[in-house]
Structure 1
């Protein structure tokens, strides 16, 4: 299995253009499998369950950059605030404010991405483009000194229609450009366009993605 993970990781990484980062989605995979990817040089891993992430953070190398990629409940922020590298799916101002509060308690700044809902299928989470515009226009986020909005994240519809997938990613890419110009023109850190997973990351890269999330394509089917 070690060879499979190493080969898969090298294959995915080799196909990425310069400037596109890889988050290895390790949720539901063992610490041993993460160690295999780590041994190949991978340092950025994505988890979506606080309890699972807590166990892995304690037992695995401390230079791993953990991204929390799932829906994060406000009452769980305090558990990961001391060490999480990025929270990839901020879907409300309430959550953004909670992250700021706990980051301040630990005297650190946490990088975040705003989650967009652009898929045509139903989903519970994410700002609509208009809601994202409204939240930023309101300006309250400017008072939050311990979070840093680094860009946008989205997921396309789970369909075979590549044109639809590209269309949805392009909506997010165009909104990124709009928001960059309006609110973050002088902020070098607002640079991440995070879309693309195992089945559609090649489309995402063509649609200006700078950060892809690959789990099955590296680790194989979920273990638990």
Structure 2
């Protein structure tokens, strides 16, 4: 099943769009099957689960942390995480930099932008991102590489609304990548789109889609 799902999905994705297989709550055997069929990028939502899987699964897997990250948990994933998708505050960014500095590592991150009409989702608004980039302390974060932005659309069947929200993320992306504070950062990624809305996200310019159930099947 996983092999066939992956093959169909990858065939449907345009060149330049990376597939992040969302493997939270999935057994290691399922991740291994996907890995053996050429999938290298996996997304996890929970720190302890990610740490456990990273210890026992192949070391060349690219682990993406896609959940809400608490500052006191950063130290556990700092040594190996490939990309942190959900950086939603300056305090969190500073903590990631602090932990990366301790191990002399640069950690790649995406800035999470709040685009949904739901209070339950996290993220900066447009003004907060610019305020952070203008902060005189921002250039001190020498162990951070900002690679782009991430956003989650409202959980709705209204495709017009979803498209508008993804386009708002694209506007933020093009705005901040011109900012002088990011001149030394390769700001190239827009992580948006999940199983139910990834086609809309791709049409809006997504470079990374986060897909779980269409690969591994629905969560029980």
- Report the TM-score, using the length of structure 2 for normalisation: 0.96
Question: Per-residue deviation at 1:188?
Answer: 6.2
Q: Distance between the aligned counterparts of 2:198 and 2:138, measured in 1?
A: 30
1:166-185 alignment to 2 at 5 Å?
A: 166-183=163-180
* Structure 1 match to 2:204: 207
- Whether the aligned pair in 1 keeps the contact of 2:21 and 2:42 (CA below 8 Å) is yes
In 2, the alpha carbon distance for the partners of 1:98 and 1:187 equals 20
Match of 2:95 in 1: 98
Q: Quick one: which of 12, 18, 36 aligns to 1:15?
A: 12
Shift of 1:107: 1.1
Describe how 1:1-224 pairs up with structure 2 within 5 A.
4-183=1-180, 186-187=183-184, 189-222=186-219
TM-score (norm. length: structure 1): 0.95
2:166–2:192 CA contact under 8 A, matched in 1: yes
Q: Deviations over 1:20-74 (max 9, x none)?
A: 1111000010000000000110000000111101110011000000000000000
Q: Mean alpha-carbon deviation: is it higher for 76-85 or for 188-197? A: 188-197
**Structure 1 gaps, min length 5:** none
CA RMSD, Structure 1 to Structure 2 (Å): 1.3
Deviations 1:113-167 (A, max 9, x none): 0001011122251111221121112242211111111100000000001110000
SS in structure 1 of the partner of residue 157 of structure 2: coil
Unpaired runs of 5+ in structure 2? Answer: none
> 3-state SS of the aligned residue for 1:11?
helix
2-structure distance, mates of 1:50, 1:198 = 22
TM-aligned CA distance change 1:172 to 1:16, over 3 Å: same
Paired residues of 1:118 and 1:129 also in contact (CA < 8 A): no
